[in-house]
């Protein structure tokens, strides 16, 4: 669909969804974002848009010489990684409970972490350089070095997941969703608090939109920590993927893996759009430059999409990061039962207990509608349907 133009404050808002379908609080957030004096061109709003802490989830915010740490959020570098395998559905065992258990045994979920460090030179060759940079992070996280080491290669909780999926050709994929774990959260919380104290943010309509300005020590410190955390998130997913692929190698010695696809969807990038260099924050959005592969997940019972970007300039070459929530976690827990969860995840080997009712498919928007609304942003490469889903 073509984007709908909504009049904003300092810049306008381009929406790849019907404005009347956007919740009131989210629309108010978007108007506040559009009022920022550093906002560039317009705010791009993805079809999975919904209210979020700091800034609206499903928004792409380009700023001149400024960045808002709360708009990026506390799960810096959160994103997706997926890989297609040589296996087909017929290679999988009739019951997938054992495969799920073996995967859960190698990837800690929730608040869990590895007893010994899980990363190896098979995942990256420059771990020494990467970890030495920890000493240059803001001093408030210095006591968290051991935790950061042992959380590398862990899933977390909430909407993070690890899945085995099948595409339309019945080929097996591995897909996972996670971010920068506890260390990214603590870095974000620190910088969000610092930004709120700066004088130039005093008159903003929402204190959560407080920004750092280029050329200041606060901006330099944030961008240093931000880029390290984004790298941590990327490496975290790579380690988990290798751990899970090793489980599959043990089960299927003949397996071959294609080149993985990896994409952040909570992050900042230095980019050029409409002839200007800007800082682009994708808050629940992926980069979808022409020809670039990306991942757009649905919920734990509805499947996901592998996509190729069309490079639409009006979206700042972006697309949605998923289906997007249509109700809060609290409302989902009050609305649905474990029986509803079992019904809506029928055929998927996964948790079906009260601890994940807030992740029930019914709490999310329809992924096929979301995809239809962004046909000018991405083209579909493959549709995946999960057969195993692991959640924290």
Write down the H helix ranges in the chain. Answer: 24-34, 69-72, 97-106, 127-132, 145-151, 181-196, 217-251, 329-335, 338-344, 367-372
Find, among 370, 275, 367, the residue nearest to 45 by Cα: 370
Dist. CA 259–CA 87, nearest whole Å: 15
Contacts of 311 (CB under 8 A, 6+ apart): 288, 289, 290, 291, 292, 317
For 95, which DSSP code?
-
Question: How many residues does this entry show for the chain?
Answer: 392
Contact 273, 280 (CB under 8 A): yes
Structure tokens given for 20: 């009347």
Contact 200, 218 (CB under 8 A): no
User: Is 321 an active-site residue?
Assistant: yes
Structure tokens given for 104: 């859960």
What does 15-30 look like in DSSP terms, one character per residue?
ESS-GGGS-HHHHHHH
Dist. CA 29–CA 237, nearest whole Å: 31
The torsion of the CA quartet 241, 265, 147, 143, rounded to 10 degrees, works out to: 150
Paired residues of 164 in beta bridges: 174, 388
Which residue among 50, 150, 190, 321 is the active-site one?
Answer: 321
Find, among 299, 182, 154, the residue nearest to 238 by Cα: 154
Contact 87, 60 (CB under 8 A): no
Contact 79, 237 (CB under 8 A): yes
Dist. CA 137–CA 346, nearest whole Å: 45
What is the set of active-site residues? 321
């Amino acid at each position: 669909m073509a984007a709908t133009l909504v009049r904003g404050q300092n810049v306008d808002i381009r929406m790849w969804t019907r404005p009347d379908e956007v919740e009131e609080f989210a629309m108010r957030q978007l108007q506040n974002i559009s009022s920022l004096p550093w906002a560039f061109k317009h705010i791009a709003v993805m079809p999975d848009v919904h209210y979020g802490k700091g800034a609206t989830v499903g928004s792409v915010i380009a700023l001149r010489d400024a960045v808002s740490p709360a708009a990026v959020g506390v799960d810096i570098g959160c994103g997706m990684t997926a890989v297609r395998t040589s296996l087909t559905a017929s290679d999988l065992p009739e019951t997938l409970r054992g495969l799920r258990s073996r995967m859960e045994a190698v990837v800690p979920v929730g608040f869990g972490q590895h007893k010994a460090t899980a990363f190896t030179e098979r995942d990256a060759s420059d771990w020494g350089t990467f970890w030495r940079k920890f000493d240059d992070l803001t001093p408030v996280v210095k006591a968290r070095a051991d935790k950061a080491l042992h959380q590398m290669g862990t899933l977390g909780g909430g909407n993070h997941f690890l899945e085995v999926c099948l595409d339309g050709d019945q080929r097996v994929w591995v897909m996972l969703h996670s971010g920068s774990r506890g260390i990214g959260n603590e870095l974000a919380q620190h910088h969000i608090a610092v930004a709120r104290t700066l004088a130039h943010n005093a008159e903003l309509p929402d204190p959560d939109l407080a920004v750092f300005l280029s050329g200041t020590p606060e901006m330099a410190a944030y961008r240093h920590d931000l880029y390290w955390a984004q790298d941590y998130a990327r490496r975290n997913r790579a380690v988990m993927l290798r751990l899970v692929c090793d489980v599959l190698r043990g089960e299927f010695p003949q397996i071959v893996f294609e080149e993985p696809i990896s994409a952040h969807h909570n992050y900042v990038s230095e980019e050029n759009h409409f002839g200007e260099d800007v800082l682009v924050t994708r808050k629940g959005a992926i980069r979808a430059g022409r020809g670039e592969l990306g991942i757009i997940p649905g919920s734990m019972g509805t499947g996901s999409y592998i996509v190729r970007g069309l490079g639409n300039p009006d979206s700042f070459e972006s697309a949605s990061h998923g289906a997007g929530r249509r109700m809060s976690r609290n409302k989902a827990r009050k609305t649905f039962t474990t029986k509803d969860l079992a019904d809506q995840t029928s055929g998927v080997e996964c948790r079906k207990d009260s601890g994940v009712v807030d992740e029930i498919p019914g709490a999310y928007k329809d992924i096929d509608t979301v995809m239809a609304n962004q046909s000018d942003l991405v083209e579909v490469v493959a549709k995946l349907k999960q057969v195993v889903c692991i959640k924290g």
